[in-house]
Amino acid sequence: MRTQYCGELNASHLDAEVTLVGWAHRRRDHGGVIFIDLRDREGRVQVVFDPDTEETFATAERVRSEYVLQVKGRVRRRPEGTENPDMATGEVEVLGKELTIINASETPPFHLDDDSVSEEHRLRYRYIDLRRPEMLQRIRLRSEVTRELRYFLDSNGFLDIETPILTRATPEGARDYLVPSRTHPGEFFALPQSPQLFKQLLMMSGMDRYYQIVRCFRDEDLRADRQPEFTQLDIETAFMDEDQIMTLMEEMIRGLFDKLLGVKLDNPFPRMTYQEAMLRFGSDRPDLRVALELVDVDDLMKAVEFKVFSGPANDPEGRVAALRLPKGCELTRKEIDDYTKFVGIYGARGLAYIKVNERAKGREGLQSPILKFLPDEAVDTLMQRTGAEDGDLVFFGADKAHIVNEALGALRVKLAEDRGLMEGDWKPLWVVDFPMFEKGGDSGRGETAEQSRGSPGGSWTSLHHPFTAPKEEHLDLLETDPGACHSRAYDMVLNGTEVGGGSMRIFRTEVQRHVFELLGISDQEAEDKFGFLLTALKYGCPPHGGLAFGLDRLLMLMSGASSIREVMAFPKTQTASCPLTNAPSEVSDAQLRELNVRLRKPVEKETPAS
Amino acid sequence: MRTQYCGELNASHLDAEVTLVGWAHRRRDHGGVIFIDLRDREGRVQVVFDPDTEETFATAERVRSEYVLQVKGRVRRRPEGTENPDMATGEVEVLGKELTIINASETPPFHLDDDSVSEEHRLRYRYIDLRRPEMLQRIRLRSEVTRELRYFLDSNGFLDIETPILTRATPEGARDYLVPSRTHPGEFFALPQSPQLFKQLLMMSGMDRYYQIVRCFRDEDLRADRQPEFTQLDIETAFMDEDQIMTLMEEMIRGLFDKLLGVKLDNPFPRMTYQEAMLRFGSDRPDLRVALELVDVDDLMKAVEFKVFSGPANDPEGRVAALRLPKGCELTRKEIDDYTKFVGIYGARGLAYIKVNERAKGREGLQSPILKFLPDEAVDTLMQRTGAEDGDLVFFGADKAHIVNEALGALRVKLAEDRGLMEGDWKPLWVVDFPMFEKGGDSGRGETAEQSRGSPGGSWTSLHHPFTAPKEEHLDLLETDPGACHSRAYDMVLNGTEVGGGSMRIFRTEVQRHVFELLGISDQEAEDKFGFLLTALKYGCPPHGGLAFGLDRLLMLMSGASSIREVMAFPKTQTASCPLTNAPSEVSDAQLRELNVRLRKPVEKETPAS
């Protein structure tokens, strides 16, 4: 039905007779002539209808926004002065000779150029929203990204293997989506939070190198830009160690960025230990575009009178850290108050600071409500250690270490964003040498499905997941000092976002049992939940490891989108519903009866939205 | 950890020092020397340990089946007379110098060479079963097939776009898998039976060419080798007609077979109307490797005394057909009885036949219990029309047409299989010109998710699905004679299996409403179920169409496997359960409470299988 895409036309097509199909993006009548911007996947071109071709002109007069048209005409140069440099096709236009209205359109609920449409409305009419060039571009980038990832993996001997969606509860620790079984009344499938156990089984099956671009499911409250279903690039290999895996994976990502964005990422990616990342950046996914760093000052504060500092400085679980902001003296009182509120989100009870007006003047040149609590020596060393210069401001965090890290870690990124202190566009790194376990609580980690929080029953929880292998040289620490035991895990971080994470896995039954024990998973529970894995480990399990990339998040970074919803064709809302199809929806009692379930509380009937 | 894969070694590696990893497939001790067949994804190689390397030899003595090993050694030519031509590596062996037991294995539940293991047992220990070379080969072929399909589609401008798994009930008509929503109590997501509506919406979104290799779900009783979840290659295009789509798709499949199997399929694929397929082969997915054809003889039987023939011959819905079996006189009484039972499966109440001993002799040369009922002229014409020769046998079917078609259609394939009458290896074709509707009942169709049986409420049901477009020149027949209206559907058939099917879709609201009406779908029901599609049709819907390939079935054909379970890494059993993970399984009441559901009947606790 077409000879070219609209968006492909340029001066090389001058005088060509072309047939185009697409949507009427805009119609303008000007000087007795009709201009229609015809749009397709590849872009737009201006089509001109003049009254000389009477019948065609009459048809053109009937055209409205989003009509589906077929146009036959001749490509010509636009008259001088009317070229449109903002359009790829802006040098040319098509003189329309024949025009067919293939399909009409009612007035669409919003125009494609309207940026003020609510997200709910955009999702309800997603098929119109997706016609926007920027949405098309993101969906296309997504297709290109998966293509490039696949080509790389295919050519490196990885097999694309499908694992079940209807399966058993998996160990990631988030809430499962459940599916009642009709043929096994009272029993349920779970949708996988990741194919973790299946990919390990595939290594035990001798597949050697596996990948899958796979849907994963988590029934979480959708804070923090999450979706009930998300996509990960899931990878597992046998007989490779973490060095080899990291090297291969960063080669893949470098190739991807080079090919699709023309961006050269570092070669190799820097590697940083978890400990260093926490000390310098207060985060295990540091944004290295931000040069600001945390500086430890516990030692200076142990003896000071100021309890807010000396308390955490003397607490083994506490931390006192400083963060220097260049030119921070420019901050207004209100800005400082706002930052104080900002760190409050992360549990910080205040945000002490010192303004460095003129360092050469000593105490006189400094300005701060807390200055009076600090002895000269502490102040001097502090100035030296932070490298503060005239006009700078030094913030302080003093609390439990995890609060200081989260608060100052977030503050350094926020300050950099607010004050234009980002350096470079793309800063990848590997974070390695994670602790195997942490005490008790929720670490707040868990951006990809390869992470979980272990069993809530245990005194220790996994920083990654219960199948993560400890470092060989730390095996003894499982007995003697689990908290000091490091894992063979690695996270790929890009611009402060964890885009991928993985580990070498435990491949020996006794180690796996030991780890379950430390996590407070009883033999019975282990048998019930992971019995098939424990059994499989007995029959010739090779050393293996892998990782998973969060595809949606990677796409969001690559496309500069503000949310993962912007890189998915049909996302759910923040309340896990779909305004387009009205899913989820009520079902008949007959259906429920077949599945051997009933509703606990009947639903009050609402008039369904039309 | 390795320098080569085991299966890669050959004479070109003579004298090379190699490091191998893999599984001990077999150990044999012979003449004071230990032979271990070391196996990995690429194959096996024989490793020899002699007592000269004492420590290594001692280690080798400890090796048992399925131990995971690392071997360092030198490649050498096998001594003359001990080459193994059945092994790709059979010219060479590795003289083992160092041996590390990476992991031990308990005695596996079955040996990989044991073909007598029950399917249940194979699925329970799938990670061992998948180590069999033929299983590895199938999983690898699957990965290669999807790779080739993707490459073809990528290079033809198709975008790989993901559609939701948690969605709304789709219109295919089979039973849905449901997922209770926690955030919307009393409401349910459905798992898609296909992305049919989403792919149509993507065309309305201007994506132009879409594909996805996508999981689909149907909660059916698993007769006929089906699975609760299966995979289809799903395709949709805008602004292409059925001719262009079929041409492109057969080019894709031809390329696939050529590249991966070295098979040259017909170019172009033959096209056959539904009517011709039913008349000649009694099936809309005829196996063209079978030369036997049905011959219509209604006209000859209208006036015969034999009611079994004259009844159907005079019934507008009846059919009398003959099927000639060359050399059929060889059939024993028992064989004929068995075939009579066979057609009984399809509802045939008998299987009349005539043996042609010596045709030149007229009636005298024929032998049949029914001969006495047939006048000379009918017999003569029958012999002519079927082309019967001496020694042949002619079978008859006489009943409602659909019973005759199913019975003789199946019989011709069975006869060809039993008597070696298959011709050629691969016979693809397109079946086209399907009726839009059929009266009432279940046509027994529905091999891929693109087919359904329409609404049970209507007097008409769809032969494909309710979004299939009628032929433009048949639009009037929707009013006057729906039964005579043909659709713009097309099925790709290969060796008697429908591997793909699709259609041009309805792209105008009024046609869609009309078709819903004929299917007995009320305005309210249409609005409730497909309202979003009807709305979308109003806002500039382009002409579009596509198809879906059943990937599992295609793989089964290509690999020569006997079941789709043999081409899936982790299939379910015929009762939709997984012996490996024990899915589905019970869940806690707390989980159900969160989902606002409870069990109708409590489940009796069983001791879980270990």
pLDDT digit string, tens, across residues B36-65: 999 999 999 999 999 998 999 999 999 999
Per-residue pLDDT, A609: 47
Q: Between A82 and B447, where is the model more confident?
A: A82
Q: Does residue A306 fall inside a structural domain? A: yes
DSSP labels, B114-183: -----HHHHHHTHHHHTTSHHHHHHHHHHHHHHHHHHHHHHHTT-EE----SSB---TT-SPPPEEE-SS
Residue A350, exposed/middle/buried by CB under 10 A (0-12, 13-18, 19+)? middle
Per-residue pLDDT, A221: 81
The residue assigned the tokens 């009178």 is: A305
Annotated binding residues of B for ATP: 218-220, 227, 498, 550-553
Per-residue pLDDT, A171: 58
Per-residue pLDDT, A605: 54
For B201, the closest chain A residue by CA position comes to A127
Does B538 lie in the same domain as B492? yes
CATH number, domain with residue B460: 3.30.930.10
Q: How many Cβ pairs closer than 8 A exist between chain A and B?
A: 359
B448 pLDDT more than 80:
no
Per-residue pLDDT, A136: 97
Does A466 lie in the same domain as A532? yes
Per-residue pLDDT, B352: 96
Average pLDDT over residues B243-268: 98
Does A489 lie in the same domain as A442? yes
Listed residue (A593, A261, A22) closest to B542, CA to CA: A22
Contact at CB, B125 and A168, closer than 8 angstroms: no
Does B377 lie in the same domain as B335? yes
Per-residue pLDDT, B169: 77
pLDDT confidence of B605, banded at 50, 70, 90? low
Boundaries of domain holding A334: 290-418
β-sheet bridge partners, residue B105: A539
Residues 6+ away with beta carbon under 8 Å from B180: A178, A180, A597, B187, B188, B595, B596, B597
Of B369, B390, B418, which residue constitutes the final position of a domain?
B418
For A143, the closest chain B residue by CA position comes to B160
Q: Most B CBs within 10 Å: which of A205, A226, A236, A241, as the mutation test of the B interface?
A: A205
pLDDT digit string, tens, across residues B306-357: 999 999 999 999 999 999 999 999 999 999 999 999 999 999 999 999 999 9
Q: Does residue A574 fall inside a structural domain? A: no
Residues 6+ away with beta carbon under 8 Å from A19: A1, A2, A3, A4, A70, A71, A72
Q: How many domains does chain A have?
A: 3
Per-residue pLDDT, A525: 86
Average pLDDT over residues B580-585: 95
Does A557 lie in the same domain as A431? yes
Contact at CB, B160 and A143, closer than 8 angstroms: yes
Q: Does residue B605 fall inside a structural domain? A: no
Per-residue pLDDT, B225: 82
Q: B77-86, B97-106, B136-145, B215-224: which range is least confident on average?
A: B215-224
Q: Which of helix, strand or coil describes residue A310? A: helix
Per-residue pLDDT, A447: 39
pLDDT confidence of B458, banded at 50, 70, 90? very low
Q: Does residue B336 fall inside a structural domain? A: yes
What is the pTM (predicted TM-score) of this model? Answer: 0.93
Q: Does residue A123 fall inside a structural domain? A: no
CATH number, domain with residue B72: 2.40.50.140
Q: A527-531, B258-262, B357-361: which range is least confident on average?
A: A527-531
Per-residue pLDDT, B606: 52
Q: Does residue B463 fall inside a structural domain? A: yes
Per-residue pLDDT, A440: 67
Per-residue pLDDT, B601: 79
CATH number, domain with residue B396: 3.30.1360.30
Asked if A427 contacts A289 with a C-beta cutoff of 8 angstroms, the reply is yes
Per-residue pLDDT, B441: 52
Contact at CB, B577 and A183, closer than 8 angstroms: yes
Asked if B582 contacts B243 with a C-beta cutoff of 8 angstroms, the reply is no
Does B157 lie in the same domain as B86? no
Does A538 lie in the same domain as A456? yes
Residues 6+ away with beta carbon under 8 Å from A360: A390
Per-residue pLDDT, A160: 98
Mean pLDDT across chain B, nearest whole number?
93
Profile chain A (610 residues) by mean pLDDT over runs of 10 residues. Answer: 96 97 96 96 96 94 98 96 91 97 97 94 98 97 98 98 92 84 95 96 98 96 85 98 98 98 97 97 97 96 93 96 96 96 95 95 92 92 95 96 96 96 94 91 44 51 92 94 96 97 96 92 87 95 98 97 96 94 92 92 56
Q: Most A CBs within 10 Å: which of B143, B568, B592, as the mutation test of the A interface?
A: B143
Contact at CB, A180 and B178, closer than 8 angstroms: yes
Does B167 lie in the same domain as B228? yes
Query: How far is Cα of residue A516 from the mean position of the Cα atoms in its chain?
Result: 30
Asked if B9 contacts B89 with a C-beta cutoff of 8 angstroms, the reply is yes
Alpha-carbon distance A190 to nearest alpha carbon in chain B (angstroms): 8
Contact at CB, B541 and A183, closer than 8 angstroms: no
Contact at CB, A130 and B207, closer than 8 angstroms: yes
Does A457 lie in the same domain as A388? no
Q: Does residue B608 fall inside a structural domain? A: no
Chain B residues in contact with A147 (beta carbon < 8 A):
150, 154, 160
Does B540 lie in the same domain as B516? yes
Does B315 lie in the same domain as B257? no
The ipTM estimated for the assembled molecules is 0.93
Alpha-carbon distance A420 to nearest alpha carbon in chain B (angstroms): 36
Residue B55, exposed/middle/buried by CB under 10 A (0-12, 13-18, 19+)? exposed
Does A447 lie in the same domain as A347? no
Q: A48-57, A262-271, B222-231, B265-274: which range is least confident on average?
A: B222-231
Q: Does residue A603 fall inside a structural domain? A: no
Per-residue pLDDT, A458: 46
For B586, the closest chain A residue by CA position comes to A187
